[in-house]
Every structure is written in C-alpha cells, then in structure tokens.
C-alpha cells in the first residue's frame, strides 16, 4: 500500500493509540540499581559523589535502608560494589567473609526481597587498582582466576543471588562456575561482563570507588572499542563456560553491539548504562540543554536495542515514571 491509502500518522493520532501500539516498554523489573558501599562509613555517613550528581557512597546500614526504600517504590534488583577500609596487592579484603560486600549481602537478604547481585573484581581492593594480580608489572591471567573464584564463592556464601565477574580475565566464568558448584552453590547465577570495552565513559565510576589504576591502563584485558566480531566471540566463550546472563558494557555508545549480541544469542542479556553516560546526561539537564525526558529516552533505547536488564544509576529517577 502507498499514500494516500497507507497513512502512518493514523498510528500516532492520539496518546491512547500510541500507547497500545508501543513496541518497546520499560518496566521496573528491567532495572538493576548499582550501589556503592564503603567499609569506612558509619551509619548516617552518606557521601555524595561529586562526579555523579545524585549518587552516593553508603555505609552498610544506609545501603540496606536505601535499597529497602527503593524496593517499596518498585525496584527488583541491586548490584553491590564494595569499598574496603584497606587495600593490598592481592585484594585480600575482597574475599573476607566479614567484608563490606558480604555483610551488605547478608543484611539485604535478611531484610528485603530484592534480587541481590554482586560485582566480582579486584580493582577496588588492590593497592595498584588493576582488575588482576600483578607480577613484575604485568596483569597475570591464570593466577587471578583463583582469587576471583574465592571472591565469588564468598559472595554466594553470604547469600548473593547473582555474582557478576567484571575483570575480563580469560576463563574466569568457568573457574567461578566450578568453584560455586564444588561448594554446593549450583543455583547461584553468573552474570558475566562478557563484552566489556576499555571505555572513557568509566571515569566517574573510578572516582566513585577509588579504583583508577596506579600504572598503565586496562587495555590489555578490556576490549578495543573498535571491535564487534570480538564481542560475539567473548559472549560465546562465556556461555560455553557457564554464564547464565551476558552483559554489554557500556550501553549507549554500544547499542549496535547490544543488538548484535541479542541477534546471535537468545539468552538473558544485560547492558550497563555506565557512570559517564549517567553524568553527561545529568550535566546537560542541569545546564538546561536537555530535559528529564532524555533519561527515559536513553534507557528506552537500550531496551529497544535488545537488553532484557539494564544496570543504571538512573533507576531511582525512573521508578516513578515507568
């Protein structure tokens, strides 16, 4: 059919018509809220993150209270990042059973019905700020796998529903799956940061958790932003190793990658709307260049590209809107 028989504007003529024909919808259960919990903070000591307006570092008590409040507003899931009181070269605090993440997870499972996810990495816990063990100035892969497995297991023992390795070491999903299964945690899910690019959009996050590398960069283990075929290989490898959920990170600058991964793999897919994507929108809104409607549109685009789950600092802004 052609004009004048076919008139596409008929499909948009009223809010009611547009609503019933809408192809992509956001729901609160699509959202995962990342939370930063610091071992150095006491109850009531909430620290604003300057590079991420509206985001905070919490004590364990305050993180649980905030998560519970957001659950009452419709939030279903949180992703916990820990900040220890002390660091060392081996990230020892990351797998401490009494560590900040482990204590937060226990409290959340006791006091809420949220799906509790945990970030599994070394960078916030190492004195050098890298995501792996460093030997003679190099980030060594295989030696890091044992530490990652210990971290993931400690999170599962605390009650985490989902562990999410973000380090980008080769073979880490298989190592973690074996560790969990051997310890009887066959039902703990792995959400793999399968496609994680070496992105400039992480800068505010590294300030938030004090995880900038002390030397070099992370380009030897995080992906080249120019590559998409490599993303599909990474995703397939992680699925073969036992990943239950795949993730693409960042999201807005990589919508094409999300689409390609969705097209190739019919498995649960998450996308991380990262700190830089959050902060640049917040800055534009504050300056009057954009309105709050840009938040909804940007998150909708991630869902439309193919993501089932969206990790976003915008989650609290959206709960009352979607």
Q: Is 2 annotated as a binding residue?
A: no
List CB contacts of 33: < 8 A, sequence separation 6 or more.
67, 70, 75, 77, 78, 79, 311, 312, 313, 315, 316
Cα radius of gyration rounded to whole Å, the chain:
20
Question: Does 61 sit behind a cis peptide bond, omega within 30 degrees of 0 on the bond before it?
Answer: no
Give the C-alpha separation, 11 to 265, whole Å: 32
Q: Is 146 annotated as a binding residue?
A: no
* Catalytically annotated residue among 6, 13, 196, 282: 196
Give the C-alpha separation, 104 to 182, whole Å: 24
Active site residue 196: yes
CB 245 within 8 A of CB 267: yes
Burial class (CB in 10 A: 0-12, 13-18, 19+), 19: exposed
Single out the residue of 310, 306, 311, 171 nearest to residue 242, CA to CA: 171
Active site residue 87: no
Q: Is 123 annotated as a binding residue?
A: yes
* Catalytically annotated residue among 249, 260, 282, 303: 249
Tokens of 215: 């030397």
Question: Does 266 sit behind a cis peptide bond, omega within 30 degrees of 0 on the bond before it?
Answer: no
Q: Is 241 annotated as a binding residue?
A: no
Tokens of 177: 């799956």
Single out the residue of 158, 200, 197, 152 nearest to residue 176, CA to CA: 152
Q: Which residues are annotated as a binding site for Mg(2+)?
A: 234
Q: Which residues are annotated as a binding site?
A: 121, 123, 131, 234
- What amino acid positions are annotated as catalytic residues? 196, 249
Q: Which residues are annotated as a binding site for Zn(2+)?
A: 121, 123, 131
């Amino acid at each position: 059919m052609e004009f004048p028989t076919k008139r596409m504007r008929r499909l948009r003529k009223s809010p009611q018509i547009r609503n019933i024909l809408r192809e992509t919808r956001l729901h609160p259960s699509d959202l995962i809220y990342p939370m930063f919990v610091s071992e150095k903070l006491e109850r009531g000591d909430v620290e604003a993150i300057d590079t991420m307006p509206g985001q905070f570092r919490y004590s364990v008590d305050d993180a649980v209270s905030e998560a519970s409040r957001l659950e009452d507003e419709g939030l279903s899931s949180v992703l916990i990042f820990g900040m220890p009181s002390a660091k060392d070269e081996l990230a020892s605090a990351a797998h401490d059973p009494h560590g900040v993440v482990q204590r937060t997870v226990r409290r959340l499972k006791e006091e809420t019905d949220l799906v509790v996810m945990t970030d599994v990495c070394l960078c916030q816990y190492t004195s050098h700020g890298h995501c792996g063990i460093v030997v003679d100035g190099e980030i060594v892969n295989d030696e890091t796998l044992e530490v990652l497995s210990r971290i993931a297991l400690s999170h599962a023992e605390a009650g985490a529903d989902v562990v999410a390795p973000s380090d980008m070491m080769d073979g880490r999903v298989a190592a973690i799956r074996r560790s969990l299964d051997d310890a009887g945690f066959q039902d703990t899910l792995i959400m793999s940061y399968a496609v994680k690019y070496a992105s400039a959009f992480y800068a505010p996050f590294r300030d938030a958790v004090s995880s900038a590398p002390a030397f070099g960069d992370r380009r030897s283990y995080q992906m080249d932003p120019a590559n998409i075929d490599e993303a599909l290989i990474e995703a397939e490898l992680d699925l073969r190793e036992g990943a239950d959920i795949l993730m693409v990170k960042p999201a807005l600058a990589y919508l094409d990658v999300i689409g390609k991964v969705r097209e190739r793999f019919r498995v649960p897919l998450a996308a991380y709307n990262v700190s830089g994507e959050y902060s640049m929108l917040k800055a534009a809104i504050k300056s009057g260049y954009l309105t709050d409607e840009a938040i909804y549109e940007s998150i909708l685009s991630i869902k439309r590209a193919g993501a089932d789950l969206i990790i976003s600092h915008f989650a609290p802004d959206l709960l009352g809107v979607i």
